[in-house]
Amino acid sequence: MNNIKKALENGQSIWLDSISRDMIRSGELQKFIDSGITGVTSNPSIFDKAIAESDIYDKSLIEYAKDGVNSQIVFERLAVDDIRDAADVLRAVYDGASMRDGYVSIEVSPALAADTAGTITEARRLWAAIDRPNVMIKVPGTPEGVPAIKTLISEGINVNVTLLFSLDAYTAAANAYIEGLGEFAKAARGIPAGVASVASFFVSRVDTAVDNALPDGHELRGKIGIANAKVAYATFAELFDRKLGGGGSFFPLHTTGAQVQRPLWASTGVKNPDYSDTMYVDSLMGPDTVDTIPEATLAAYSDHGNPGSDLTNGLGEAQAQLKSLAEVGISLDSITDDLLAAGVATFADSYASLLGRIEAKLKALRN
């Protein structure tokens, strides 16, 4: 049994943080699925890279743009086709997992991160255009994104909450899911088990920012990203307590077959060469979780990763590490606030780069 399937045995789904038309049509995505991959995530940077490195989109770009629409609409048409096709490849996983896995994610425009109404409108449009049950719409976990999450879930639209860095932001996203699911169930719009969500909690970016604030050789270097995630996972266990008398508001929904909103570990590529290249996979493996992994990290994990259940151990140590960070005068709240702002800006820059790439490609193809 390979390491990806061992992770599944430990309750963690491994999703591929990459997508391209060539991957879908060549059968490469199916090979990933055969190895145990159970989902796919995308973002503007991934599409930008796919368009830059291949001519497989060229004919389609001309077709998508033939009615004179702008590059944003061209991209949406391109993305909808790819996401729909990837969802079809993953459909067998979705069916086999009773709707609890087999998803592919697509992001709303980063320009809408501070626009609740705009996010809802675009998410509805993408959901309808793709028209597949095993799709998740990525919505940023900004203050403006939280009410959008609740609304979309209440309408039965699957949501991947992205750009979560802080415990407070994670808690807000989880509560939005529970409240939205409650409204969905009350309105009897469908089967609660058919509504799914993940909360994408970013890890390595936290370490990078904290390490930059710590002196060389400090014992907390390379520790806070994982500690922060472990504390978030403990919060997940409390919020989604499925036992009668557990005190959580999720229990009545669980009795209807509703799914928990699984924590998804994002930003799992190791940025510091001094750290193990699989540390964010090995250390964050446990029940009811997802890890979305770029191809290079997936190759490393497949080769020499250490699948286990480390996520369920060491909560006390993680809490002590976060306390120690505050004691040395570093505010994790300030760091995560900055990371959220930077994450929104980076996604917006990637989106602008992607649209520029499409315009340049179209210009070259027409000449």
Single pTM value for the model: 0.96
Cβ(258)–Cβ(158) below 8 Å: no
Q: Interior CA angle at 13 toward 11 and 19, to 5°?
A: 180
- Residue 212: inside a domain: no
CATH classification at residue 7:
3.20.20.70
**Assigned domain for 320 exists:** no
Q: Give the residue numbers spanning the domain of 166.
A: 3-202+258-307+333-366
DSSP class per residue in 64-107: HTTT---HHHHHHHHHHHHHHHHHHHHHHHHHHTTTSS-EEEEE
DSSP assignment string, 117-165: HHHHHHHHHHHHHH--TTEEEEEE-STTHHHHHHHHHHTT--EEEEEE-
- Decide if 323 is inside a domain: no
With a CB cutoff of 8 Å and minimum separation 6, the contacts of 300 are 277, 278
Instruction: Walk along the chain (367 residues) and give the pLDDT tens digit of each residue.
Output: 799 999 999 999 999 999 999 999 999 999 999 999 999 999 999 999 999 988 999 999 999 999 999 999 999 999 999 999 999 999 999 999 999 999 999 999 999 999 999 999 999 999 999 999 999 999 999 999 999 999 999 999 999 999 999 999 999 999 999 999 999 999 988 889 999 999 999 999 999 999 999 999 999 999 999 999 999 999 999 999 888 766 678 989 999 999 999 999 999 999 999 999 999 999 999 999 999 999 999 999 999 999 988 898 999 999 999 999 999 999 999 999 999 999 999 999 999 999 999 999 999 999 8
Whole-angstrom distance, CA of residue 355 vs CA of residue 150: 30
What is the number of domains present in the chain?
1
Q: Quick check: is 138 catalytic? A: yes
Distance CA 121, CA 101 (A): 25
| Residue tagged active-site, from 138, 150, 223, 230 | 138
Q: Is residue 315 part of a domain?
A: no
Number of H helices, E strands in the chain: 16, 8
